[in-house]
With several copies, the nearest count.
Chain A
C-alpha cells in the first residue's frame, strides 16, 4: 500500500499530535493542573495512527484506559479532549468522563474505557450492527498485552468468529500490564498463535514502524470489510512513560527507557524513512511540528480558560428520557 504525500503528511501530523498532546498532558499533570489517573500513549503513536488511517465514516473504534492516542487518531477534537482532561464543561464529555472516558460516539469513537477488556465485546456489537445494516463498516477494538487475559476479550473474539462480523482486534504489546511483564502474564509462548486459535488471521507489525502497522492493519481491515469475519493486528512497541503518570517503574531494566526513546521512536523512524526516500523534507515535517505545537498550546490555553461545570450539571446526562416522576 503506497501512500501519497497528503496521506503521509496527515499520518505524521496525527502521530505528532498524539505525541505532543501526551507530553503536554504529562507536564500539566506534574504541575498539578490535571486531576485523576492518566495513562499516556507516548511511544505507541504508530499503532493508533497506522490502524485508524484506514477508517472513516461509520467505522468505529473502542479504546482503553490508555485512550488519548486512539481517539486522536480516529479524529477526536483535540481541544475538546484537552478541555476534557481539565474537567471543563467545554470538554468533549462535559468534564464528566475525563481521560479514561474520552468519547465521540457520533464520530466513531465508542470511548476510552477504564475497565480492562471492557471494549472488545462492545466492538463486536458495533461490528454486528454493520453486518445487520449491510454496510461494509468495520469495528476496531484496541487491547493491551495485559487485557488479552481478561475473559471478556476471549469471549468477544469467539463471538466475532461465530457471527462472522467485521471486528478487528488490535493487540498492542507494550510489554507490560501495569508493573507486570507479558512474559509473566501471558502464560503461553506465542500470543499470536493463541489468538489465531480462535479462528481468525492475525497480522503482526513492528509497532515502531508506522508503515508496517499501516500495512498489517490494512490487510486485517480489508479481510473484515470483504465479509470474511474478524481479523487481528498485533503490534509490539514499548511505552515511554510509566503505566500512569507517577509510576516509579521499578520493573524497567537498566537503561530500558533511554533505549526506548533512543532507538524505538516511531516519529524519528517515520522522519528518517520519508526523508530518506525523499517523499517528504525535514522542512515540511518541521512545519507540521510547529503547527501541532501551536495547536496543543492553543488547546491548553483554551482548556485553562474554559468554563467549569457546576453542581447544576451533576444530575444531567444520566438518562436520555426521564419518566415524569424521575427516580
Chain B
C-alpha cells in the first residue's frame, strides 16, 4: 500500500469526496490563494497546503477563498449546510476558534436541538491544532478538549494519516456538525493509506497496542508518543493497552472501560492543560464506571496550566514527553 503523509491523506479525501458529491465544497482563508492578485490563483491550497489542487480541479464556487472573517466563514458553512450543501470550512489554526466561537457553539451546535430536531447541519470545520512548531501561545493550542464539552458537536482528532482520511470522509458524510482537529505536528508523518475512499466510524476507538498491565488513553499527537513510551517499557516486562479514541465526541467509552476493567490501571495523555480537559474527562469516567477494578490512582499526563510558550526548550517541556508518559505508567505499576 502507498505511504502518504497526513497532509496528503486529507487532501486526497477532499479531492475524492468533492468529486463524488457536488454538494461538498471547501471554504476558508487562502484555501485557494492568489485571488485578486497578478499571480496564480490557487497558488496556496491553505497555509499548510492541505487544500492544494482543489481550486484547479473544482473552481471558485467549490474552493471558496474568503476575507479574514472567521465568524462569517463558520456562519457561511452553517448556512450553506442548512440549505443543503456539505461545506468543509477551514479555520487554519485551532486557536482562532475564539473569533468564531459563537457560530460554532451557539449556532451550528444547537440548531437541531433548538429547532426540535427539524434541521440538519452537515458542516465540517477543519483546524490545524497543537504544539510543536514554536508557534507560541496563539498558534499552538489544541482546543478539541474545550469543544468536546459542547453538546451538538462531534469532535474528531486523528493520530495518523490512515485514520485522518477515513475519519474525514465519515465527517463529510455525517449529517451533524463535525469539528476536525488536525495535529499539525503530524502533517508530515506518513503511513500506509489506501488510494480508494474508505470510512472509519465515529465513536470507535483504535487500539494500536494491547497489553495487560495498564490502560493508556492518548489523543492526537500524543498517541505516537504514548506508543513509544509503551514500547520502551516492554523490556521491563510491562505491557499496556493503548487506546486512541479518534473521536472525543462521541467517545468510545466501552472500549476504554473494558480495558480498564481488565488492567485495573489507567493513564490518560493529552497535550492540553489539565483543568477540565480530556484527561480529567476520561479519568472521571473510569473513577465512576470502572471504580471497582481500579488498582492504582489514575494518572493524567498533560501540559501544565500555562499558555504554550514560544522558546523551543520551553515548548519541549510543555508538551508531554515519552519520558513523562513512562514515568506515569511506572507510577501506577508501583
Contacts and interface: CB of A to CB of B under 8 A. Distances in A.
Given a CB threshold of 8 Å, the question of whether A touches B is answered with yes
Interface of A: 35-37, 58, 60, 62, 87-89, 91-101, 103-106, 110-111, 113-118, 120-133, 139, 146-147, 149-152, 155-156, 158-159, 162-163, 176-187, 248-254, 256, 308-311, 313-327
B154 A96 contact: no
Contacts of B62: 132
A93 B62 CA distance: 33
13 contacts: A96-B114, A96-B309, A97-B116, A111-B115, A115-B99, A123-B79, A128-B80, A149-B68, A150-B68, A184-B36, A251-B33, A309-B311, A323-B201
Given A95-B314, A125-B78, A105 B118 contact: yes
B36 A181 contact: yes
Contacts of B118: 92-93, 103-106
Nearest to A91: B116
B62 to A, nearest CB: 7
A145 B36 CA distance: 13
B299 interface: no
A148 B312 CA distance: 32
Given A37-B139, A315-B306, A318-B306, A111 B175 contact: no
Given A121-B103, A124-B76, A152-B103, A317 B33 contact: no
A82 to B, nearest CB: 14
Given A184-B36, A314-B317, 11 more contacts: A88-B311, A111-B115, A114-B137, A122-B107, A123-B79, A150-B68, A179-B34, A251-B33, A319-B176, A323-B204, A327-B251
Contacts of B251: 325, 327
A117 B113 CA distance: 20
A326 B203 contact: yes
A319 B178 CA distance: 11
A130 B151 contact: no
A115 B106 contact: yes
Contacts of B116: 91-97, 317
A158 B34 contact: no
B211 interface: no
B144 to A, nearest CB: 15
Contact of A111 (B70, B111, B304): B111
B134 A183 contact: no
B137 A251 contact: no
A36 to B, nearest CB: 4
Contact of A180 (B34, B103, B115): B34
B138 A327 contact: no
Contacts of A103: 111, 114-115, 118-119
A79 B251 CA distance: 39
Category for how many chain B residues contact A: 35 or more
A321 B176 contact: yes
A91 B136 CA distance: 14
A316 B138 contact: no
Given A100-B136, A152-B102, A181-B37, A133 B76 contact: no
A177 B68 contact: yes
B36 A313 contact: no
B293 interface: no
What are the 8 closest A-B residue pairs judged by CB atoms, nearest first? A121-B75, A125-B79, A253-B38, A250-B43, A323-B203, A184-B36, A98-B310, A181-B36
Contacts of A320: 112, 120, 175-176
A114 B64 CA distance: 24
Given A121-B76, A122-B78, A159-B76, A178 B30 contact: yes
Interface string B24-45: 0101011001111111100110
Nearest to A34: B134
A114 B138 contact: yes
Nearest to B308: A96
A96 B43 contact: no
Given A179-B43, A319-B154, A118 B115 contact: no
B280 to A, nearest CB: 13
B179 to A, nearest CB: 13
B318 interface: yes
Nearest to B122: A320
B23 to A, nearest CB: 8
Contacts of B201: 323-324
A37 B321 CA distance: 23
A121 B79 contact: yes
A294 to B, nearest CB: 26
B310 A97 contact: yes
Contact of B69 (A150, A252, A308, A310): A150
Contact of B44 (A91, A116, A182, A250): A250
